[in-house]
Chain A
């Protein structure tokens, strides 16, 4: 791509030729997707790097497919061209697989493993594929797949709403996002209510540990 930003991040690892990072979020309305993406964007701007995001609001209240696109670095358009996502963060297995139009063979995928069965399936529409099959397919197509039981981990922490923060931690653990863990942590502390802060920090940490070790 274009201008190299590596110099901006002495502690981080932008690839030599990478001038921008495209992160595609996919899930179901109500999962906290925009909040998760905004935390990375805000942290990025705090670190002095351009960030643009595209969101779709409106008809997608609870239950519909929702996507959010985030681009860091030297870009204008807030939407990611086809096949150009560097990182896909899927909040639901089928939605993760649906977002493969944005992936290439170098894309890294983080995906929640717990399905949310759409009403269309119950009403006799197309069957919901087996999660193992979805994961195996993802693995056959992209560079790396991290299967994260984020909802279960957030429940264990006692804050089910923090599944998005577990996934955010997992994204940081991959090392792809050129930001300091502390910057994300600071931004998170300015985003969530004080009483939920400790649980959110734990959610961030468990997600981070999971992919960093993997």
Chain B
């Protein structure tokens, strides 16, 4: 079994683990019984690992329809005395936030950890919001590890803190921790506690107004206890870099790694206060620490949160050690930090020269290199859907259509030649925003949503659109998986998160039952038929739904290879006229231009055949 070591590994064993894998081991060492999630990068591998190890570890694991449901499953499990874990990407916590805020009020019985994987520099996200605000907004404690080892260790600590305070703990990672791989020394793993009993206590668990105002008072009392724990915590400790450092640096998370490496690179000495229990901050200890240094630097990614807390605290206590933060150090408030950025800030502040490689940097290639952004894969069924929509629009002469897009691989349809993403907010937003464009303009509206995203946040939006008589063509790009995050199941599939059989919910049946007058299932690999379906759909006075059903090509390719059925397409160079229609319409990574004619890369072609249907002279056929 893959990840066997996460289950069987003994205390003291060394394993090379991704931060996300280490989180799972930490949760297992903490004896969690229930885990629930909705996949989202950079948190996705946590679920991928649970889907393999949960059953053999005795843990219940599910992919819920969205992050709010996942958080609710975990919260109620924890209220029943079972240690529970929910994890999501940063914007997932926005979805879950309605319930998350209230879990702080009602608290928990068994340990309850909410992991938020933030994405500074938006490697795979629509924003780079700083979810450390959520700890402050909800008044819950927060831990932030710097490495896979700490990710594992802090998980165990998080459960202990959660139970001491009877509060959820926010566990914040970032891409560079979640996707950092490093050596992890394992700890003890004992049997999980999988079942509890829910003991009723409405005054505690039912926040009607009469109860909730008291709950807020109680919460602030617990937060004061949390502050005490933070002051005592070994997760907050001083690391001396070099000797005789007269400058103090407060830092947290991945930034700790950059600070230490930058100091060593520059040959500087400093006392580094490494924060791991990051809310509430151990302000008493930071004040004491500051008393022994000449100045205090605060180096943190994104928002100046620790900086503001420390500056406010020093002001109210009359602490005179100067504090330098974002503005003073010229540390940007946007994007992730790295050793280069931190070294530049420190070199500038200390007035020392930046370290340059002994041999000097090399010169980049003199002109811009061809770009290679992520693209729809060879054989991706979305390509056929977009090709059909574009054809229908062209043939009907629809002026200025608006494309309301959503979160998934299909957002890549934004690029030429499809240009099929004009507006995007969040998971499920394609449906709501389509209605907005309809009521505010005379433009024809096309919206696109994935199967997983449809169940995540599309259903209630669709009910709203139908009831309010919005007019648009909604395509559910049903590729039978949650593709972009790495192929997790969703409610339309026959298996659940751990591979057991599960009831599959038919998207077309749901849509019909909701009263949509036009519902058509198409195969996007049959471009002509799909085009006709779109032409019909545009005539509907209301919501028209097209379910474009074809399994994700990465999964299909795997299945075809396993069965030994494999075909590719090739261009007959004697027939090809070099019109390059296929190149410009289909934009497949497998098609390239060679001596003025189209050519197909046989390594990349997956045999979907969409290009052959687009060829005006039938020059593309199955390779014999």
Name A's B-contacting residues (CB within 8 A).
2, 28-29, 38, 41-42, 45, 50-65, 75-79, 81-84, 94-95, 97-98, 100-101, 103-107, 116-123, 125-129, 134, 137, 141-142, 160
Question: Which B residues touch A42, using CB under 8 A?
Answer: 16
CB of A39 to closest CB in B, whole Å: 10
Cross-interface CB contact of A81 among B340, B584, B589, cutoff 8 Å: B340
Cross-interface CB contact of B484 among A52, A58, A75, cutoff 8 Å: A58
> In the complex the two chains form, what is the Cα distance from A94 to B370 in whole Å?
8
B197 at the binding interface (Cβ < 8 Å): no
**Which residue on B lies nearest to A143, using beta carbons?**
B359
Do residues B176 and A54 form an inter-chain contact, with CB atoms below 8 A?
Answer: yes
B368 at the binding interface (Cβ < 8 Å): yes
Question: Which A residues touch B124, using CB under 8 A?
Answer: 56-59
Do residues B181 and A59 form an inter-chain contact, with CB atoms below 8 A?
Answer: no
Do residues B375 and A79 form an inter-chain contact, with CB atoms below 8 A?
Answer: no
CB of B417 to closest CB in A, whole Å: 7
Do residues A118 and B363 form an inter-chain contact, with CB atoms below 8 A?
Answer: no
Within 8 A of A (CB), among B350-376: 356-365, 367-376
> In the complex the two chains form, what is the Cα distance from A28 to B590 in whole Å?
13
Do residues B584 and A97 form an inter-chain contact, with CB atoms below 8 A?
Answer: no
Question: Which B residues touch A142, using CB under 8 A?
Answer: 362
B62 at the binding interface (Cβ < 8 Å): no
CB of B18 to closest CB in A, whole Å: 7
Do residues B362 and A123 form an inter-chain contact, with CB atoms below 8 A?
Answer: no
Question: Which B residues touch A54, using CB under 8 A?
Answer: 176, 179-181
B587 at the binding interface (Cβ < 8 Å): yes
B66 at the binding interface (Cβ < 8 Å): no
> In the complex the two chains form, what is the Cα distance from A67 to B356 in whole Å?
23
Do residues A57 and B592 form an inter-chain contact, with CB atoms below 8 A?
Answer: no
Cross-interface CB contact of B179 among A55, A63, A64, A134, cutoff 8 Å: A55
**Sample of 18 A–B contacts (CB below 8 Å):** A41-B181, A42-B16, A52-B147, A52-B181, A56-B123, A59-B41, A62-B378, A63-B377, A75-B261, A76-B257, A78-B181, A81-B338, A83-B357, A83-B362, A97-B365, A100-B364, A104-B362, A128-B370
Do residues A104 and B41 form an inter-chain contact, with CB atoms below 8 A?
Answer: no
Q: 1/0 per position for B577-606, CB-CB distance to A under 8 A?
A: 000000110011101110000000101100
Cross-interface CB contact of A103 among B362, B368, B371, B589, cutoff 8 Å: B362
Question: Which A residues touch B588, using CB under 8 A?
Answer: 119
> In the complex the two chains form, what is the Cα distance from A184 to B589 in whole Å?
34
* Chain B interfacial residues counted at CB < 8 A: 71
**Which residue on B lies nearest to A134, using beta carbons?**
B365
Question: Which A residues touch B363, using CB under 8 A?
Answer: 100, 141
Question: Which B residues touch A118, using CB under 8 A?
Answer: 370-372, 589
CB of A183 to closest CB in B, whole Å: 13
> In the complex the two chains form, what is the Cα distance from A2 to B265 in whole Å?
8
Do residues B369 and A94 form an inter-chain contact, with CB atoms below 8 A?
Answer: yes
Given the known interface contacts A78-B180, A82-B361, A142-B362, the answer about A38 and B261 at a Cβ–Cβ threshold of 8 Å is no
Do residues A64 and B359 form an inter-chain contact, with CB atoms below 8 A?
Answer: no
Beyond the given pairs A50-B183, A78-B181, 10 more chain A to chain B contacts, judged by CB atoms under 8 angstroms and listed by A's residue number, are A29-B374, A56-B123, A65-B373, A82-B340, A98-B365, A100-B362, A104-B362, A106-B357, A118-B589, A119-B588
CB of A160 to closest CB in B, whole Å: 7
Question: Which A residues touch B146, using CB under 8 A?
Answer: 76
CB of B486 to closest CB in A, whole Å: 8
B258 at the binding interface (Cβ < 8 Å): yes
Chain A interface SS verdict (over half): loop
Given the known interface contacts A65-B372, A75-B261, the answer about A53 and B182 at a Cβ–Cβ threshold of 8 Å is yes
B140 at the binding interface (Cβ < 8 Å): no
Within 8 A of A (CB), among B66-96: none
Do residues A79 and B362 form an inter-chain contact, with CB atoms below 8 A?
Answer: no
> In the complex the two chains form, what is the Cα distance from A81 to B584 in whole Å?
39
B532 at the binding interface (Cβ < 8 Å): no
B52 at the binding interface (Cβ < 8 Å): no
B44 at the binding interface (Cβ < 8 Å): yes
B166 at the binding interface (Cβ < 8 Å): no
> In the complex the two chains form, what is the Cα distance from A137 to B483 in whole Å?
39
Given the known interface contacts A58-B484, A81-B343, A122-B583, the answer about A104 and B372 at a Cβ–Cβ threshold of 8 Å is no
Question: Which A residues touch B45, using CB under 8 A?
Answer: 57
CB of A104 to closest CB in B, whole Å: 4
Do residues B356 and A83 form an inter-chain contact, with CB atoms below 8 A?
Answer: yes
Given the known interface contacts A51-B183, A59-B124, the answer about A119 and B358 at a Cβ–Cβ threshold of 8 Å is no
Do residues A122 and B123 form an inter-chain contact, with CB atoms below 8 A?
Answer: no
Within 8 A of A (CB), among B140-195: 146-147, 175-176, 179-183
Do residues B359 and A28 form an inter-chain contact, with CB atoms below 8 A?
Answer: no
Do residues B484 and A123 form an inter-chain contact, with CB atoms below 8 A?
Answer: no
Do residues B14 and A45 form an inter-chain contact, with CB atoms below 8 A?
Answer: yes
CB of B420 to closest CB in A, whole Å: 15
Question: Which B residues touch A41, using CB under 8 A?
Answer: 16, 181
Do residues A126 and B371 form an inter-chain contact, with CB atoms below 8 A?
Answer: yes
Do residues B369 and A98 form an inter-chain contact, with CB atoms below 8 A?
Answer: yes
Question: Which A residues touch B254, using CB under 8 A?
Answer: 77
Do residues A104 and B180 form an inter-chain contact, with CB atoms below 8 A?
Answer: no
